[in-house]
Structure 1
Amino acid sequence: MNWIILIIAGLFETGFATCLGKAQETEGRESLYWWFGFGSCLFVSMFLMYKSISGENAIPIGTAYAVWTGIGAVGGVLAGIFIFSEPATFWRIFFVITLIASVVGLKAVSS
């Protein structure tokens, strides 16, 4: 269950990065909504990260942090490509794939 919580925390990390990017692109009330989304996603992400490293079957902090940031990094790159029209070059995709492989590898070797 802690792994599912950690994955959801990573998705919320992608959410707060995306909201931050959208807040910078907008003005006025719309920008405030994105800032609210940023704060909400940040809180949920941190809370779920905490839950995944505590209690029964806790994930080690080093592994949890690497997986959490890895999910956020991959999500951030994908959000950049699909939402913010950033380039999807061969090397960007290559390194995102290696990052995903590393996250899966950490899950495979963790108890």
Structure 2
Amino acid sequence: MGWINIIIAGIFEVFFATCLKASDNFTRILPDTGVILGAGLSLYFLSRAMQTIPMGTAYAVWTGIGSIGTVILGIAIYGDPVNFGRMFFLSVLIFSLVGLKFYSG
């Protein structure tokens, strides 16, 4: 169940970060609410995941899912740049997270 919780936490992390961009410096109430809810739920599920996954692994995977998701949404929604370097290091991050999953015990 810990890995399911960490995936849910990561999804809420992506939601939080996307709402943060949309909040326009905390001037729009709906995205502002999304920031607060997304951050709170993300931390809640992260804390649940840490009950069964080692703390360092859980935190690294949580931030990794958030990073990967926000890069993908940044490209898809906000037209962030796509180039070989960004995609290469995004791939390295994905492989690193998979490695942490398999070697976390």
Tell me, yes or no, whether TM beats 0.5.
Answer: yes
CA distance in 2 between partners of 1:93 and 1:80 (Å):
13
How many matched pairs? 105
Long gaps (5+) in structure 2: none
Q: Paired residue for 1:22? A: 22
**Per-residue Cα deviation, 1:4-58 (whole angstroms, up to 9, x for no partner):** 110110111011000000111895xxx110000111000000000001112xxx1
- Segments of 5+ residues of structure 1 without an aligned counterpart are none
Counterpart in 2 of 1:109? 103
Per the alignment, residue 9 of structure 1 pairs with: 9
Instruction: Quote the sequence identity (%).
Output: 45
| Structure with bigger gyration radius | 1
Confirm or deny: 8 A CA contact 2:13 2:39 kept in the other structure. yes
Give per-residue Cα distances to partners, 1:55-97, cap 9 Å, x unaligned. Answer: xxx1000000000000000011111101111111111111111
- Gap change, CA 1:11 and 1:102, over 3 Å in 2: same
1:2 positional shift = 0.7
Q: TM-score, normalised by structure 2?
A: 0.95
1:59 aligns with 2:56: no
4+ long deviations beyond 2 Å: none
User: Which amino acid in the other structure matches residue 44 of structure 1?
Assistant: L
- TM-score under structure 1 length normalisation: 0.90
